[in-house]
Amino acid sequence: MNTARTGASSWKSDIALALLAALLLLALNAQAGFPQLANPAGDNDSLLQLVEVRDLLAGQGWFDLHQYRMGLEGGFVMHWSRLLDAPLALGMMAVSALTGSTALAEQIVQVLWPTLQFWLALFFIIRAARGFAGEHAVLPAAVVGGAALYYIGIFSPGALDHHNIQLMLTLASLALLIEAPAHRTAALLAGVCATLTLAIGMESAPYAGTLGATVALLFLAGGDGERRIARDFGLGVAGVSVLVFVATVPASAWGQAQCDTFSIAQFAVTGLAGLGLAVIAALRAANATAVRRLVSLGLLAVALAGVVAVVSPQCLAAPYANLDPRLQQMWLGYIEEAQSIAQLAFDDPARAVARYATPLVAIILMALRLSRGGWRRQDSLVGALLVVAFLVSAWEVRGSTFSIAFAVIPLAAWIAKWRQRAATAPSGGSLLRMAAAWLISVNAIWSGAAAAASSAFETGAPVKEAGVDTPCNSKASFAALAGMPDTTVLAISNLGSPILAFTGHRVFAGPYHRNVAGNLLVFDALLGSEADAKAVVTGHHVGLVALCRGNTETRLFTAKAPDGFLGGLVRGSVPDWLEPVSETSGSPLELYRVRLGS
């Protein structure tokens, strides 16, 4: 009874502590005036997510994932999930009903949604740290965790894309699995969360898969002690897989395997894996001994491999293996979150240090823990996720979003150890070690030190004219364009999502791997000759051409083809079939109207 009361009390205190941090973050953003809403700073995914929610609220079908205003005529099918559109749309409907303003409802949801995800993510970090290292790790987890979540930037106002909810659900699954021995429903809920994060986006497949594999291995090694956890986790995975498949995949597409979204391929794997694990854990004939568990789980692994080979062998290739070579060279290779650790270290060593330092320290701490013996089930869960996330981040920077968050748990335990030593045996040495542990665990410290070191070695870059480097990120940059009659705008892909979000126009290009035809068409127009561009403009009914000199993509295109159509516009060579739009004079976004009949 006392244990139950203590458990309930700790949940309440952890919720309150995480909420306090979330409210502090909200207050800081409010004091600054929520600048991210007016200047999304190139957050294309969140802007397009907003567009998709608007389309859903405007009556676009639940199963219709076309983005009709991007790509060639007719648009293209996006790979994102309605599982994220639904709560955002419901939130906007509710707030709009209360306020009477759709625009205000959008802004409120853009503020409250990422704040809610921050609160929940930090709460689950605190819970995981408590289960990993006890009460003394709670405060370090709250401080270091809050700083880490703020640093990675996916919880800022306006952040509507899937990254924050995927991280939150993964942390929830981890925390629930750590607590599963003491709470009967925790493993079931962990399976639910792991499946939902996968269903929302395939980027989290390595983490959901790692959690499932770790649960199976713990069951293999732990026998009866892990049997209930494995069974319930498997049931959670299998049950939610069915619901997600039916709710998000139209019956006409049930037989179509897709590699980048939840489809029959993912359903077959998650359903079989979850149900198979649950059955093995439930049947004594399959789990009575370690040998039987090994054979049963081995057969399940073989069956899963067979399903993948039959249903979706193409998904075994690298995610972008079949992407057009031009898109790989001119687009994918310059997406920051898709860079490798080696490329990032070469291009921006200060950012590489800031992104990889704390996860590396946490891995070293876990390795030391392993070498000293006494390895526990929670060590396996945290260690497996941390190592996998670090390996993913070495391949693609986006993985560091997860590895930085997972690293907080062993770092909080490390700080807690030195806090206890400093309290029980205070000395200069123990206080110094405690202070060092705090400093080393905070990403902002690494970021600031790396930036300072980097600037110390800079030789001094030439000062450029004001406005030349303006990347056209702000909503104000698109004000003049928004006031013009709707048409098709020819522009680089980085301008695609902002144009859709801030105006009623349509575009060809956007930084999305399924929009192959639209992006290649823009390559042909902007990198080709004036005649090539005119052919695209006349053949596809383009009404406006947009130019943003300060955007990195513009510089890339002009460097690649200095004599091309875009290069000519940048130099001021405007063909006679275009005329500058006077309303955009002085704006970083330059517009050129197509002269009809030219």
Asked whether the beta carbons of 290 and 223 are under 8 A apart, the reply is yes
Question: Could you tell me which of 135, 139, 150, 125 has the C-alpha nearest to residue 22?
Answer: 150
CB atoms within 10 A of CB 159: 23
- The pLDDT score that the predictor gives to residue 465 is 46
Rg value, the chain, Cα: 26
In which element (H, E) is residue 543 found? Answer: strand 542-548
Task: Please state whether 551 falls in left (phi above 0), alpha (psi between -120 and 50) or beta.
Answer: beta
Closest CA to 583 of 526, 533, 544, 537: 544
| Cα 433 to the center of its chain, rounded Å | 34
Sheet with strand 542-548: strands edge to edge: 506-507, 488-490, 542-548, 589-594, 578-580
| Strand residues in 430-505 grouped as ranges (E) | 488-490
Q: Where exactly are the structural domains of the chain?
A: 347-453, 475-594
Could you list the mean pLDDT of each consecutive 10-residue stretch along the chain, which spans 598 residues? 58 95 95 91 92 97 96 94 96 96 96 97 98 95 96 93 96 97 94 97 94 97 92 97 96 93 95 97 93 96 94 79 71 65 75 88 94 91 96 86 96 93 83 90 84 63 50 90 95 95 96 92 94 94 94 91 94 93 80 81
Q: How far, in Å, CA of 52 to CA of 389, rounded? A: 29
Would you state the pLDDT for residue 542? 96
Residue 446 has a pLDDT of 84
Q: Are the C-beta atoms of residues 473 and 39 closer than 8 Å to each other?
A: yes
Phi-psi region of 102 (alpha: psi -120 to 50; beta: other; left: phi over 0): alpha
